[in-house]
Amino acid sequence: MDETWVPDDAWLGTETIRLLDGAALSLDPAGGFRWLGDKGRPEPGRPRPLWITARMTHVFSIGALLGRAADAARVDHGLAAMLGPFHDAEHGGWFPALADSGEPENTAKTAYEHAFVLLAASSARIAGRAGADRLLELATQTVLTRFWDENAGRLVEEWDRSWSRLDSYRGANANMHAVEAFLTAADATGDASWRERAGRIATSIIDGAARAQAWRIPEHYDQDWTPLPEHNRVRPADPFRPYGATPGHGLEWARLLLHLDAVSRLTGRTPEPWLAEAAERLFDRAVADGWRAGGDGGPPGFVYTTDWDGVPVVRQRYHWVACEAIATAAVLAEVTGRPVYRERYAEFWRSARDLFIAPAAGFGWVHEVDDVDPPAQRTWSGRPDWYHAVQATLIPRVPAAPSLPAALARADATDLLSALPH
């Protein structure tokens, strides 16, 4: 294929529709959304994770904002699941996964999943869906009373079911997704305190910890927020708590800082000068450490993790990292006007096309590729995650804003797909 290829708006619109249609196959009549296998069927024996149901509800809220009536109904399906079987009616909060029986697979209450419930509720409210207000009310109460640590300006990580025992671990991953959720909650409610909290999270983890670590983000901390650089060294490819630095999170954080910076442009407030600077530093570090153009004996793409000197540890290439690289390069190109980011944007899209889209045989994106036998399934099997890819097709086509759903609501979002079949 032409190595000068860059996706145009028509291609991106077609890909958005293709992804939304593929994601719809995850709908479970019993409630929520399932973990899909490579052929578009739920993987047998898999529980229904809350993070999938919440992310899919967010994704279909985007589809509803694009004028897709079927996606609006899927939003309602996701809201009903989070107001119903996933919700712990006795103690509050949400179970992280449901077994086929409908009973909780386990009962821990974790910040990661609750951040996505807040994101889903906020996106659904922006999309105008019934049920969103009630879910947003419950999510707000739970996140602020159980997870938000006002003194630390960050989220704690994990409680037991009855909220009586708090685990000592603290993590940057859940807090990163909380920044996205908080910005979307602010757009959904008009409550600026959500943006203030997002800014406090970013200041401590990025302007503090990441800046001190040469822009490699410490992911793991103890209860006093002291970094734990050796955490999970024996399980370096953990899908949620890997050892070392994660270039994909550097890219994702860089984009989120630019969304935080967009708050200033929209509200007339004086921008925080460190946000744009840190976004560029994070991007540069992630590319320098993680990007491999194929000269290391493996395929082009970003490695999953590195050590604290930038040496790759887990060399698998994951689709979500490519998606974040694409979206972040697009926003940096818009905000800075620097041609290098537009060049990187095109380069990352060509890599994603060859590595994750073309081999997917028309169904979503391949999730994981390694140096030996692509596609791989060492960490991720099947196609459980669609939200990164959907967002990568849309973020380059809308102005930088605090949240993607609000950007779509402010624009005439239906124009993004108007020339294409629904």
Encoding tokens for residue 369? 């590729």
Would you call 133 exposed, middle or buried from its count of C-beta atoms within 10 A (0-12, 13-18, 19+)?
middle
Cis peptide before 374 (omega within 30 of 0): no
Catalytic residue among 114, 231, 367, 388: 388
Angle CA(287)–CA(293)–CA(295) in degrees, nearest 5?
125
- Report residue 39 as tokens: 């052929």
Separation CA 371–CA 296 (nearest Å): 9
Distance CA 73, CA 79 (A): 10
> Hey, which bits of 25-167 come out as E strands?
48-49, 97-98, 104-106, 109-110, 148-149, 154-155, 158-159
Q: Which of 77, 249, 319, 367 is catalytic?
A: 249
Write the burial class of residue 101 (CB in 10 Å: 0-12 exposed, 13-18 middle, 19+ buried). Answer: exposed
Distance from C-alpha of 280 to C-alpha of 285, rounded to nearest angstrom: 9
**DSSP assignment, residue 233?**
T
Q: How far apart are CA 263 and CA 401, in angstroms?
A: 7
Rg (CA), the chain: 20
Q: 345, 330 in Cβ contact below 8 A?
A: yes
Give one DSSP letter per residue of 353-410, joined into a string. Answer: IIIIIGGGTTSS---EE-SSSSSP-SS--S----HHHHHHHHGGGS---S-HHHHHHH
Question: What single-letter amino acid sits at 313?
Answer: V
Token pair 């609501």 is found at 409
Strand 97-98: give its sheet, edge to edge: 48-49, 97-98, 104-106
388 is catalytic: yes
Backbone dihedral region for residue 190 (phi beyond 0: left; psi -120 to 50: alpha; all else: beta)? left
Positive/negative CA dihedral, 143, 145, 146, 149? positive
What are the catalytic residues?
249, 388
